[in-house]
Structures are given as C-alpha cells and as structure tokens.
C-alpha cells in the first residue's frame, strides 16, 4: 500500500506575491443575496488582481447598508465609517493629508443622492483622485424600506407606495459636473463590474461607479425597478469592457473597427468591444445624450460612460508637494524664527 | 462766523482742567465710506506717540450705506477694554448724528459736519463745526474720490484739537497705504493737512482732552486677533485648512492663506506644503478637517456660532472616533440675520457638549493677541496628543478689532505629534489595540493610513467599537469605552492651560472671567477698589475643562462673580454642571449681552448692586 503524499495546490498569488487573504475583510452582516456583497467580492478581486498593496488603500463610507460594506473587504486597509452623506468631505481631508492614499469610498443611493447630494456634487467639481462607488438599490435598507432619491418614477415599495418624484441619475450628475471616470454596472455582472473597477483603480482623477445592487429584502419585488429581474431585463450594456493592466503584456489580434481603446496614464488600457452601437467614452456630450435617451426608453445603460484623462485633479489645482502633507518634518511646516521676526517688524 | 460754540454747564469748574491720555474718541461714519483708513491712522498715530491705545469697530452687516462707529480709547493706565462713555465724538453721519450727540455725557467734545447744525441740540458740549465739503474740494480734484478722502480731514482736525503730532499722522498713513499706494497716501495726507490747517485757523480749543507723548508702546505691535490666531496656526505647522466663509472668522483664514503662501511655498518648485480648501459648507469643512486629522495632518477650520451648529454631528464623531482637529470659533451674535457683526461669548455652553450622546469638548479661551497666537499652537498640540477636536474660542471683539500687543514669542517647544505608531514600532510590538489605555491617561495609540505593516490598519467608526476597533454593540464594551473617554477628559483637565489667579489678602469677593472680558474685568477691579473699597481676587479661565484651581479659588471666597458676555450666564452654567453644591452656592452672575464688547463700568455697577452698596 502506498501512502499518498498530500501536496497542497500552489496558492494563487498576485503580481506582488500576495495571496487573496489580505484583500478580504470581515464577515458580512448584510442580508444573504444582497447585491452589496457581490460588489465587495468584485472589489476584493480587483485590488488583488491589480496587485495594489492593501496598506496603501483607505476605505471610506457614510451611513447605510452600503456603508457597512468597507468592513467586508481589504481588512489590511484603514477604514473610516463617517456620518450620513458626508463621506466625500472625510475622504477629501484624508487624501489632502496624504495624497499617496489609494482612496475608495462606498456609498448608497440615499447616502449619495438624498442626504449626501451636496457633498457628492462638490466632490465631483474637485476631481479628487478617488473611487466613489454607489451601491444603488433605490431604497433605504437599514431603516426598513423608504424610497431614496434614485428611485424611479412609478417604482413601487413592498407596502404598495408608489414613487412620484423624478430620480437623480448619479451618472448624469457625475458626467456633467466634473467626474473624470463615470461608469454604471450591475452587481450581478461579474465580468463587467470587475473590469470597470480595475480601470477605476488605474484612473487618475475622480471615478464614480453607480452599481445597481438590488435589495433582496425591501426592493426586489414585482413593481420595483431595482429588482434583480427588472435590472436583468433592462440592462443595456454599451460595450463589452476589457481592462488590460499595464503589467500585463497581451497582444491580441483585434478588428480595429469593433473596439474602442482608451490608454490610461499608467500604461494600462481600457478596451471597449462594440455591441451594436458606436460609443465613444471620451465624448462628454455624447455620454449625456446617451444617458438621456436610454432613460426615455427605460433602459439601463451599463459600461464605461465617460473617461477624461487630461483634467487637473484637486492636487494639481492646489499645487501641493508630492510628499504627504501629514508627515512633513517640522523644518518644512514651521517657518524659522526670522519669519516671525519679519512679520512682527511689519506690525510695529 | 462763530468759530466755536462752547457752553458746557460746568465750564467755570472745568477751566484749566486737562485730561491727558485718558479718554475715548468715537467716529461715527457711513459704512463703506473709507473711514476705516482714517480711523486706523488716528489710532496708530496715538500709538506711535507711545500712548496705550485700543480700537473697536462697531459695524453693520452691510457693504456700504449703514452707520458704523469706531471707538479709539487712549489710556495712560493701559486700560484697553471698551470705555462706555464717549468723550470726543466725530459726527460724520447725518443719519445718526442727532442720537450720537444726545447720548454724550455732559462736557464731551463734538467735531461735526457744519451743515448738520448739531450745536443747536445741546448747550453742555464743546462743539467744533467743520465744513468738510468745502475743505475736500480743493485737496481732491477728482470728485469720485472725495467721499473717501473727506474722512481724512477729520484726522487733521482731531490731531490739532487733541495735540496729536502731524508727523505721526503722516507716518501712520504711509504705513497704512504702503509703498505701492504712495499716490493715494499723498492725496490723503493733503486732506489731513487741510483739516489741521482749518482747525488751527478757525477752531478754539475748549475741551479738556489732550494727547501727550509717553513711552508705553515701545516695541509693541498692532494686530487683530484673527491675524494673530492665523499666525499661531502657521507656526503650529498646520497643513490642511478647510473652511466656509462666515463673519467674523473669514479674515482669519484669509490672513492664514496669505501667510501660508508667503512662508510655506517652495521657492524653486512653487509647490505648497499646505492645502486650503474653501468647502461647500461647514459640514464639509469639519468633515475635511477630521478626515485630514485622521490621516495625520495638522488640520483646522475657523467658523462662528452658526457654523458650529452645523458641525455638531461631526464634532461628536470626532469625540467618539478620537480624531484630532482644531476648530477656531470666532464667536458672535446669531443666528441667521442676527447681529453677525456684534460680539458675544455665545457658544460656550453649546460647544462644550456639541453633538449628541455624552460628548465633551475641550475649549481654550485666549484673551489677548499673544494668547491667540500661543493658544492656537497649544490647540494643535492638545488635539494631536488627546486625539480629539479642540475648540479655540475667540470672539469678534478679539478677532476683528485692532489690539496693541507685545510681539509674539517664537515657539520654544518642538512640534509633538502625539501617540502615532510607525511601521517600525509595529514590527517591534507585533500589533496594537487602537482604543486601549496603555499609558493610563485614557489616550490610545493610533496608526496613520499608508503605514506599511499588516497590523497597521484599523477601522474607524463612531461609538460602537471595542479596544481593538472591532465593531461591537455590547453593553460592557460601550461602557468601558465611555469610561475611558471620561478618564481621557480628566487627563485633559490637568493638561490644558491653567487659569491666571490673583489672590488678594482678605478678599471676600472673587471675580472669574474668560477671553475678551479680561480687560473690562481688570479695570472694574480697580474701580471697585478705588471707588468702593472692595478688594477682589481674580481668576481668568484659560480653558475648559476647568482646572482644579477654579474650585480652590471658589472655596477661598465668600462670593464669586462670574462674568459672561451672554444672557444665560454660560460660563457659570458650565460650572453648575460639575461643581459641588457648596461651591455653586457662592457663584453670582454678571452678564452683558448687548453685542458690544463688555465695559468695566457695567461690571462695576452690577457687582456694587449685588453687594448691596
């Protein structure tokens, strides 16, 4: 008899030699089947596959089901669960303190479009290099099922209440007011969401990703426009999104006419394979029009709606030094005695 | 033409009386008429003659058109608080001139625009009519500038009448305009001279007020509290500033930004070692401050009462999640359209407990320009050491008025960044528990984002966390954390600046004040002693939580008057929250809440009344 020698399959490691574990987080406390959990999975994958060191990342959120989720990914990254609707300001402050932070924020539709609309809009204007994910289910989960400001007109709550108010389209807002990477996806579309997240990580500027993420408990019924079945029926991908990171050397034969390629700052490439329509994600006006027209047809356009590579970021506009402000040595932040003497002399 | 109408009732008794370097001048003008320059020049000229001086601007919430009053007090004894009585009025505003004159005490002097015919109103004042329009036309050919230059004429008039040396007026004027505006300075100088010459030819001095050269201001500076606080922030090494404009704090950030650009921009690259962001509102500015503090920056904002209200939720998060940040509260009257340009110690109570739950915030109370500077630095040190928001409580009187001050001392201590663990520390320790009281002072160790160690990260959230920053809703975890936070606040009590105490032997009466009430309180003590033979001990609070010296002080006196510039005796109310009943029983309240800086006479009268004298 021979004893079989157990050989463990080699651990899958990423380009910096880490396995998936440091990219995982705590156990989720969200409902089973919640779209948010799928998004956390994609975030874990994206950071793992991109080979981002977890310690470089900081996670931010506001309040709500969505905002609990940063505890469920990247356990070796700092996290900050702020107050309702005000995550953008906290993230802005943190990134100003240390511009080397890879910042990712997770918000919800209530946290972004209702209580947080003001801060969201001003974040857009500043083009902070930051990934802003909206886990969008059109409903308040933690307070048990009230409409948010992204709920569609005519959408029905479980209780039978129908929404009469027009929704904010966060992608349309983002496009118009300054975000330089705007995408929409669906928590159930693994491949598309994963590619979009990786492209967002490579982007230098504000990336807004609105992910339709059905709430299985309060908004997954007949009459809801954010249910799994409704979204699957109305999902209209603009294109097939592929992301080729800078460290991956792939040469593929492509038919020039069928693919739109965007070369990112870090050498990576977004490859958008056409699906029936000719869509240029660098055309801001075209993107706004496409969103508007899709809305009239009750279609949910998904994919990378807009990318602008040359807009100045907040750091550029402020003209800050490259080093983190937070840890500059005293000699660089406290002017010498001569400076105080000079000022005092002027005041005499 | 009569050159002067003099008819003070006690003119006989007053003959030959000279009041030297001890009076107040009030200039009543229209907002936006350029009077600020003329007033500053007048104040500076007196200062340059070596006489202790203070200036208080009482202005409306308006860009142009509404009445404004500027009061200059000269005091050989060094009293720089507001003086209630006006001795010398310059009535330039037809809208208010009548009321301004009627409010004067008998024997005061009035310079006025001749057509207003103010001399008809009273017979017990010294009137000096001046035809300003006639005088301004020849010195200012350009008609559109006359409104501005006109005011400089009264500088010349007042200089003649009070004996202010004209070369000092010129020096002050040149300083005010700077080398780049030499032409404007000359134009204004012409106006001042025209005023002086007119007065010399047409006015006969009859009032008793005189300025005489002294040597009490040598080496001193003139600065406003917002600029002084800004300088403190600059030398504290602030790196992230987020703010939203609000009177009376805006000029603090504007001064700070200008100093930062000058001293914290790399000359070669043009890059800055700071970030200043004008946020969309105060919720965002405090959010940015706390986010930056969390990530390791020395961060600050400046605001006033209405902004403080908006910062309530985040301030509570700052307390529970233990985030450093400095919030300068330049207090004023409010809310909404509620006297935003008047001063008040209005937010003592609300700031101490700002937010929901059991929240307590440390507050520092600067009383002078030097303290605005030094306490701004202390605020950053305390915020980082204790990992909590620290509120620097100035007010409009300190912040926006010009004050005489000794020059500021360069910080003697190096910048200390508090309990921050680096990757090397973690390699040595193996890990850390964010909210564990390792040193017994209630303050845990923290790590900053981007610390390259697998054990560096932790998750920051409100009150629902255990020692290791893990999420919890357990009763014992919550209570343990709350008890540690209470203990941390007790540690702070021992570390905040201690009060200034002046005990008088045998004094039954003690007086407690804070911030800008200092000057009126100190002057009132002299009045009480000189006029009523009441000897008082004195305690000036520099911080909340109150140091144990405050309890000792109360215990040692029979009656303790607590001075407040608010209606509801907020300083006293804070004491009531925590002091034992026998101490509270000794406390009495003196309050002023009219929107002007408190004055000595108001305090004296109220103490005398309560003393039953």
- Please tell me the distance in Å from B469's CA to the nearest CA on chain A: 11
- Please tell me the distance in Å from B497's CA to the nearest CA on chain A: 22
Q: Is residue A91 part of a domain?
A: yes
Which tokens sit at B388? 């909590």
Residue A348 sits at the chain B interface (C-beta within 8 Å): yes
- Please tell me the distance in Å from A327's CA to the nearest CA on chain B: 7
CA distance B283 to A89: 8
Q: What's the whole-model pTM score?
A: 0.95
Residue B501's alpha-carbon distances to B381, B569, B574, in angstroms, are 24, 21, 19
Provide, as residue numbers in chain A, all residues whose Cβ is less than 8 Å from the Cβ of B471: 26, 71
Q: Is residue A335 part of a domain?
A: no
Residue A275 sits at the chain B interface (C-beta within 8 Å): no
Among the listed ranges A176-180, A277-281, B301-305, which one has the minimum average pLDDT value?
A: A277-281
Is residue B248 within 8 A of residue B340, CB to CB? The reply is: yes
Domains: count for chain A: 1
Average pLDDT by consecutive 10-residue portion of chain B (613 residues)?
A: 44 68 95 88 97 92 87 96 94 94 96 95 97 94 88 97 98 91 93 97 97 96 97 98 96 98 95 98 98 98 97 98 98 87 96 96 98 98 98 97 96 96 97 97 98 97 94 95 98 97 97 98 98 98 98 98 98 97 98 96 98 92
Nearest Cα residue in chain B from A339: B263
CA distance B603 to B214: 29
Among the residues of B178-335, which ranges form H helices?
A: 182-202, 225-236, 250-263, 282-294, 305-310, 312-321
- What are the residues whose beta carbons fall under 8 Å from the beta carbon of B476, sequence distance 6 or more? none
Cβ contact, residue pair B297, A75, below 8 Å: no
Q: Is residue A331 part of a domain?
A: no
Listed by number, the residues of chain A in 74-133 with a beta carbon closer than 8 Å to a beta carbon of chain B are 75-83, 86, 88-98, 100-101, 118-119, 121-122, 126
- What are the residues whose beta carbons fall under 8 Å from the beta carbon of B371, sequence distance 6 or more? B542
Nearest Cα residue in chain A from B316: A83
Is residue A149 within 8 A of residue A110, CB to CB? The reply is: yes
Cβ contact, residue pair B234, A77, below 8 Å: no
Listed by number, the residues of chain A in 9-28 with a beta carbon closer than 8 Å to a beta carbon of chain B are 22, 26
Residue A191's alpha-carbon distances to A90, A184, A197, B184, B431, in angstroms, are 31, 13, 10, 70, 37
Q: Is residue A345 part of a domain?
A: no
- What are the residues whose beta carbons fall under 8 Å from the beta carbon of A221, sequence distance 6 or more? A156, A158, A227
Which pLDDT value is given to residue B219? Answer: 94
Listed by number, the residues of chain B in 154-213 with a beta carbon closer than 8 Å to a beta carbon of chain A are none
Provide, as residue numbers in chain A, all residues whose Cβ is less than 8 Å from the Cβ of B448: 78, 98, 326-327
Average pLDDT, chain A: 93
The size of the A-B interface in CB pairs under 8 A is 218
Cβ contact, residue pair B299, A97, below 8 Å: yes
> Mean pLDDT across the stretch A313-330?
97
Q: Is residue A13 part of a domain?
A: no
> Mean pLDDT across the stretch A119-140?
96
Domains of chain B: 5-210 (3.40.920.10), 223-405 (3.40.50.970), 423-495 (no CATH), 500-611 (3.40.50.920)
Q: Is residue A12 part of a domain?
A: no
Cβ contact, residue pair B259, A337, below 8 Å: no
Cβ contact, residue pair A86, B456, below 8 Å: no
Q: Is residue A76 part of a domain?
A: yes
- Please tell me the distance in Å from A102's CA to the nearest CA on chain B: 9
Write out the residue range of the structural domain in which residue A159 sits. Answer: 21-326
Question: Residue A317: which H helix or E strand, with range?
Answer: helix A314-318
Nearest Cα residue in chain B from A81: B461
User: Which among A53, A88, A93 has CB closest to B289?
Assistant: A93
Mode of pairing for the β-strands spanning A181-186 and A206-212: parallel
Give backbone dihedrals phi and psi of B519, rounded to 5 degrees, phi first.
-70, -45
Residue B470, classified by CB atoms within 10 Å of its CB into exposed (0-12), middle (13-18) or buried (19+), is middle
CA distance B401 to B398: 6
SS3 A16: coil
Q: Max CA-CA distance within chain B?
A: 93
**ipTM reported for the complex, 2 dp:** 0.95
Cβ contact, residue pair B459, A122, below 8 Å: no
Is residue A169 within 8 A of residue A288, CB to CB? The reply is: no
User: Which among A90, A118, A321 has CB closest to B291?
Assistant: A90
Residue B142 sits at the chain A interface (C-beta within 8 Å): no
Of B148, B144, B140, B157, the residue nearest B177 (C-alpha)? B148
Q: Is residue A343 part of a domain?
A: no
Listed by number, the residues of chain B in 466-495 with a beta carbon closer than 8 Å to a beta carbon of chain A are 471
Q: Give the dihedral sign, CA B251/B253/B257/B260.
A: positive
Which pLDDT value is given to residue B180? Answer: 87
Which pLDDT value is given to residue B316? Answer: 97
Is residue B603 within 8 A of residue B520, CB to CB? The reply is: yes
- What are the residues whose beta carbons fall under 8 Å from the beta carbon of B417, sequence distance 6 or more? B296, B384
Residue B393's alpha-carbon distances to B51, B57, B81, B363, in angstroms, are 29, 20, 18, 6
Cβ contact, residue pair A333, B264, below 8 Å: yes
Say which CATH number the domain at A67 has: 3.40.50.970
Q: Give the dihedral sign, CA B301/B306/B310/B315.
A: positive
């Amino acid at each position: 008899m021979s004893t079989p020698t157990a050989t463990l399959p080699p651990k899958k490691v990423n380009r910096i030699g880490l396995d998936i574990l440091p990219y995982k987080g705590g156990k989720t406390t969200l409902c089973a089947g919640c779209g948010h959990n799928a998004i956390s999975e994609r975030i874990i994958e994206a950071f793992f596959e991109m080979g981002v060191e977890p310690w470089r990342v900081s996670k931010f959120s506001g309040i709500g089901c969505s905002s609990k989720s940063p505890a469920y990914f990247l356990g070796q990254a700092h996290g900050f669960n702020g107050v309702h609707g005000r995550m953008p300001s906290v993230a802005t402050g943190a990134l100003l303190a240390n511009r080397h932070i890879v910042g990712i924020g997770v918000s919800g539709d209530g946290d972004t479009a209702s209580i947080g609309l003001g801060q969201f809009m001003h974040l857009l204007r500043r083009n902070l290099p930051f990934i802003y994910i909206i886990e969008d289910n059109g409903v308040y989960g933690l307070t048990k099922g009230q409409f948010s400001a992204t709920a569609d007109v005519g959408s029905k709550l479980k209780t039978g209440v129908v929404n009469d108010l027009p929704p904010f389209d966060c992608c349309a807002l983002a496009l118009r007011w300054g975000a330089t990477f705007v995408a929409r996806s669906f928590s159930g579309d693994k491949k598309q969401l994963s590619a979009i997240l990786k492209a967002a990580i490579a982007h230098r500027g504000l990336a807004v990703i609105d992910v339709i993420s059905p709430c299985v408990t309060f908004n997954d019924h007949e009459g809801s426009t954010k249910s799994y079945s409704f979204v699957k029926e109305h999902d209209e991908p603009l294109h097939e999104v592929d992301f080729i990171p800078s460290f991956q050397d792939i040469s593929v034969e492509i038919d020039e006419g069928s693919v739109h390629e965007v070369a990112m700052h870090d050498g990576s490439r977004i490859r958008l394979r056409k699906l029936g329509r000719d869509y240029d994600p660098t055309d801001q006006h075209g993107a706004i029009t496409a969103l508007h027209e899709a809305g009239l047809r009750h279609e949910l356009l998904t994919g990378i709606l807009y990318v602008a590579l040359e807009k100045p970021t907040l750091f550029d506009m402020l003209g800050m030094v490259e080093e983190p402000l937070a840890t500059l040595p005293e000699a660089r932040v406290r002017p010498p005695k001569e400076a105080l003497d000079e000022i005092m002399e002027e005041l005499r | 033409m009569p050159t002067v109408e003099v008819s003070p009732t006690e003119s006989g008794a007053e003959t030959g009386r000279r009041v030297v370097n001890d009076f107040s001048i009030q200039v009543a003008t229209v907002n936006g008429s350029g009077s600020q320059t003329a007033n500053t020049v007048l104040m500076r000229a007196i200062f340059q003659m070596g006489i202790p001086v203070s200036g208080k601007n009482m202005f409306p919430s308006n860009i142009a058109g509404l009445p404004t009053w500027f009061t200059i007090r000269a005091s050989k004894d060094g009293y720089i608080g507001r003086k209630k009585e006006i001795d010398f009025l310059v009535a330039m505003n037809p809208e208010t001139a009548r009321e301004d004159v009627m409010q004067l005490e008998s024997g005061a002097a009035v310079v006025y625009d001749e057509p207003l015919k103010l001399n008809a109103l009273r017979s017990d004042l010294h009137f000096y009519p001046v035809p300003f329009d006639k005088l301004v036309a020849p010195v200012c050919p350009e008609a559109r500038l006359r409104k501005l230059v006109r005011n400089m004429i009264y500088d010349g008039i007042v200089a003649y009448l009070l004996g202010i040396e004209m070369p000092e007026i010129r020096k002050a004027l040149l300083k005010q305009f700077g080398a780049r505006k030499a032409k404007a300075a000359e134009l204004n100088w012409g106006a001042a001279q025209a005023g002086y010459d007119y007065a010399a030819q047409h006015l006969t001095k009859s009032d008793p007020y005189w300025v005489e050269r002294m040597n009490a201001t040598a080496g001193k500076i003139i600065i406003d509290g917002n600029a002084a606080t800004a300088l403190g922030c600059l030398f504290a090494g602030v790196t992230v500033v987020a703010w939203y404009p609000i009177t009376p704090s805006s000029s603090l950030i504007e001064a700070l930004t200008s100093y930062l650009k000058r001293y914290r921009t790399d000359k070669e690259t043009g890059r800055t070692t700071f970030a200043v962001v004008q946020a969309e509102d105060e919720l965002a500015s405090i959010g940015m401050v706390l986010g930056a503090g969390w990530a390791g920056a020395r961060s600050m904002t400046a605001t006033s009462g209405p902004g403080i209200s908006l910062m309530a939720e985040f301030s509570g998060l700052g307390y529970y999640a233990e985030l450093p940040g400095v919030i300068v509260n330049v207090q004023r009257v409010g809310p909404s359209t509620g006297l935003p340009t008047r001063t008040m110690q209005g937010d003592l109570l609300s700031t101490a407990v700002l937010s929901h739950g059991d929240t307590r915030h440390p507050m520092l109370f600067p009383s002078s320009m030097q303290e605005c500077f030094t306490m701004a630095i202390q605020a950053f040190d305390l915020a980082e050491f204790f990992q909590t928001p620290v509120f620097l409580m100035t007010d409009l009187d300190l912040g926006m008025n010009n004050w005489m001050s000794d020059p500021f001392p360069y910080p003697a201590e190096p910048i200390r960044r508090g309990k921050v663990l680096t990757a090397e520390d973690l390699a040595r320790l193996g890990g850390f528990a964010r909210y564990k009281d390792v040193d017994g002072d209630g303050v845990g160790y923290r790590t900053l984002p981007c610390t390259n160690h697998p054990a560096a990260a932790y998750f920051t959230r409100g009150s629902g966390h255990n020692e290791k920053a893990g999420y919890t809703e357990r009763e014992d975890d919550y209570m343990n954390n709350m008890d540690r936070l209470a203990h941390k606040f007790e540690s702070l009590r021992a570390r905040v600046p201690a009060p200034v105490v002046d005990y008088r032997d045998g004094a039954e009466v003690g007086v407690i004040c804070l911030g800008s009430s200092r000057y009126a309180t100190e002057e009132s003590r002299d009045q009480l002693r000189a006029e009523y033979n009441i000897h008082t001990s004195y305690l000036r609070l520099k911080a909340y939580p109150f140091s144990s010296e405050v309890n000792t002080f109360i215990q040692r006196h029979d009656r303790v008057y607590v001075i407040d510039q608010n209606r509801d005796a907020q300083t006293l109310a804070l004491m009531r929250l925590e002091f034992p009943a026998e101490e509270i029983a000794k406390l009495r309240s003196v309050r002023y809440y009219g929107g002007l800086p408190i004055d000595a006479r108001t305090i004296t009268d109220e103490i005398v009344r309560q003393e039953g004298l």
